[in-house]
C-alpha cells in the first residue's frame, strides 16, 4: 500500500509540474506574440449613405468620380411620366490626399451650385491593442449657388460642418449619427433661420455579398413659432434605397423627398413630403481611379 501511495503521489506531483510548465510556456508565447490592432473596414460601401456623407474616405492617391441623379416627383402624373421627364444632376470629384483625408468639389444643376468639401477621419473603429468602439470623421463644405446673378458672392454662399459617428455592429449592420451645423448667409423666406442645427441618422443592412439596404433621415431643429407664424414650407429629408456593387462601381438606387444633392439643400431646403407623394426616384454612381504608382508597379 505504501508503494502504491508513493506512486500515486509521484504521478500527481509530475502532473502538477507538467501543467505548471505548460501554463508558463503558454504565457511566454503570449508575451512574445506581436501586439496588433485590427481596424474595421467597409463600415459603408462608399463615401455616401444616400444623400449625405458616410464616415468613409477616399484612399490615398485615388480619385472618386460620382454622378448624382434625381428625377422629378412621382406625383407629377403620367403626363410627366411620373417624374422621369425632368431631372437634376450633380457631378463630383473627390481625391484622397491620405487614407484619412479627402478633398473634393462638385457642380449640380439645382440653383447652378458649386460645392467644395473636405473630410478627415479622426478615429477608426478597432479591436486588439487599440480598442475603439466607433469611427469618427469630420466633414466641412462650402456651397455657392450661382443661379441669381444679382446676388453678391457672400449672399450666395453657405457653410456646413458635420461630425460623422458610425459603428459597424456586424458584417451585415452599420449605423451612423450625424450632428450637423448649417449656416446660410442668405435665406429664401423669412421663416428660415440662417443658423440651423440638424441631426442625421443613417444605416446599412447588408443583404448579400453585393447588395445592401440603406436608409437616411435628417431632423432639422427649426424654430416652430416662426414656422407657424410665417408658414415655413420646408421639412426633413428622408431617403431609402439599395447599394449594388458591380466591380469597380458602386450603384445606388433610392427614393427621396429631396431634390438637392448637397447638405445645404437637402438638409435646409427640402420641400417635398412623403405623405403627399412628393417622392423622387434617383441614383448615385461612383467610380474610383487609382493614381498610386506603387500599386500599379506591383500589378505589372
* Residues whose CB is less than 8 angstroms from the CB of residue 281 and which lie 6 or more positions away in sequence, other chains included: 70, 71, 74, 83, 84, 253, 254, 255
Dmax over CA atoms of the chain, in Å, equals 111
- For the cut 80, the answer to whether the pLDDT of residue 34 exceeds it is no
Instruction: Provide the whole-model pTM.
Output: 0.83
Please give the CATH number for the structural domain made up of 45-299: 2.40.160.40
- What DSSP element (H or E) covers 74? none
Q: What is the pLDDT of residues 230-287, one digit of tens each?
A: 556 788 999 999 999 887 778 999 999 999 999 999 999 898 889 888 999 999 999 9
Nearest alpha-carbon partner for 268 in 111, 97, 58, 100: 111
- Cβ atoms 135, 124 nearer than 8 A: yes
Of these ranges, 16-25, 190-199, 212-221, 224-233, the one predicted with the greatest mean pLDDT is: 212-221
Amino acid at each position: 500500500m505504501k508503494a502504491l501511495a508513493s506512486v500515486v503521489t509521484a504521478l500527481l506531483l509530475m502532473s502538477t509540474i507538467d501543467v505548471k510548465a505548460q501554463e508558463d510556456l503558454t504565457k511566454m508565447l503570449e508575451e512574445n506574440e506581436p501586439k496588433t490592432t485590427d481596424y474595421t473596414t467597409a463600415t459603408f460601401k462608399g463615401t455616401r449613405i444616400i444623400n449625405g456623407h458616410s464616415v468613409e474616405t477616399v484612399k490615398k492617391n485615388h480619385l472618386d468620380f460620382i454622378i448624382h441623379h434625381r428625377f422629378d416627383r412621382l406625383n407629377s402624373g403620367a403626363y410627366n411620366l411620373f417624374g422621369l421627364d425632368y431631372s437634376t444632376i450633380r457631378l463630383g470629384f473627390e481625391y484622397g490626399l491620405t487614407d484619412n483625408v479627402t478633398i473634393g468639389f462638385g457642380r449640380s444643376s439645382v440653383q447652378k451650385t458649386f460645392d467644395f468639401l473636405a473630410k478627415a477621419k479622426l478615429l477608426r473603429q478597432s479591436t486588439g491593442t487599440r480598442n475603439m468602439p466607433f469611427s469618427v470623421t469630420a466633414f466641412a463644405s462650402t456651397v455657392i449657388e450661382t443661379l441669381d446673378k444679382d446676388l453678391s458672392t457672400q449672399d450666395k454662399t453657405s457653410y456646413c460642418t458635420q461630425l460623422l459617428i458610425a459603428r459597424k455592429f456586424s458584417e451585415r449592420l452599420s449605423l451612423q449619427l450625424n450632428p450637423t451645423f448649417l449656416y446660410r448667409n442668405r435665406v429664401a423666406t423669412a421663416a428660415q433661420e440662417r443658423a440651423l442645427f440638424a441631426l442625421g441618422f443613417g444605416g446599412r443592412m447588408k443583404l448579400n455579398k453585393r447588395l445592401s439596404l440603406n436608409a437616411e433621415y435628417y431632423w432639422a431643429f427649426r424654430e416652430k413659432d416662426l414656422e407657424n407664424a410665417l408658414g415655413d414650407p420646408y421639412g426633413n429629408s428622408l431617403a431609402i434605397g439599395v447599394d449594388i456593387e458591380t466591380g469597380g462601381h458602386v450603384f445606388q438606387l433610392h427614393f427621396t423627398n429631396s431634390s438637392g444633392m448637397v447638405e445645404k439643400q437637402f438638409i435646409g431646403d427640402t420641400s417635398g413630403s412623403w405623405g403627399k407623394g412628393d417622392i423622387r426616384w434617383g441614383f448615385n454612381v461612383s467610380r474610383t481611379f487609382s493614381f498610386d504608382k506603387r500599386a500599379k508597379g506591383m500589378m505589372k
